[in-house]
Amino acid sequence: MRLLHTMLRVGNLQRSIDFYTQVMGMTLLRTTDRPEQQYTLAFLGYGRNPEHAELELTYNYGVDQYELGTAYGHIAIGVDNAAAVCDAARAKMATLGGSVSREAGPIKGGTTVIAFLTDPDGYKLELIERPQAASELTQ
């Protein structure tokens, strides 16, 4: 068994594609439009299945906002330098939406450095400093 993808419902598909490609550095892998069923899917990631898990963004026609609920936590992404990613993201998010919701720093009671970004729909992304894991994404 393996994790294939995570699906998020979004209120503006192009805004979310722009956020995940321009701020998070993902690649738009494919899209599927289903007008009869009134939804469009966009799959993004740092690589394709089966080698990498993907992020599925689902836009349901006419729905521009969702309640996230209290069960959702975050998506974790390994990065070389969380502070640098936050700085680069902050500049891009000024026009694309989203925010840095926790600056880079060690976790409570530990030494692992993390930060959090919030995408334009309110979903949290945890950045975890793992230089080796992040560099593997680019190989």
* Domain assignments of the chain as residue spans, ordered by start: 5-62+73-137
Which has the closest alpha carbon to 119: 14, 11, 46, 19? Answer: 19
Q: Do residues 3 and 60 lie in contact, with contact meaning Cβ atoms separated by under 8 Å?
A: no
pLDDT greater than 90 at residue 42: yes
Q: How do residues 76-125 score in pLDDT, each as one tens digit?
A: 999 999 999 999 999 999 999 999 999 999 999 999 999 999 999 999 99
Q: Do residues 100 and 89 lie in contact, with contact meaning Cβ atoms separated by under 8 Å?
A: yes
**CATH T-level topology, domain 5-62+73-137:** 2,3-Dihydroxybiphenyl 1,2-Dioxygenase; domain 1 (3.10.180)
Instruction: Output the pLDDT for position 133.
Output: 55
Instruction: Output the pLDDT for position 33.
Output: 97
Active-site positions read 126
Q: Is the pTM of this model over 0.85?
A: yes
- 5-9 and 54-60 strand pairing: parallel
Q: In degrees, to the nearest 5, what angle opens at C-alpha 17 toward C-alphas 102 and 15?
A: 80
DSSP structural state of residue 122: S
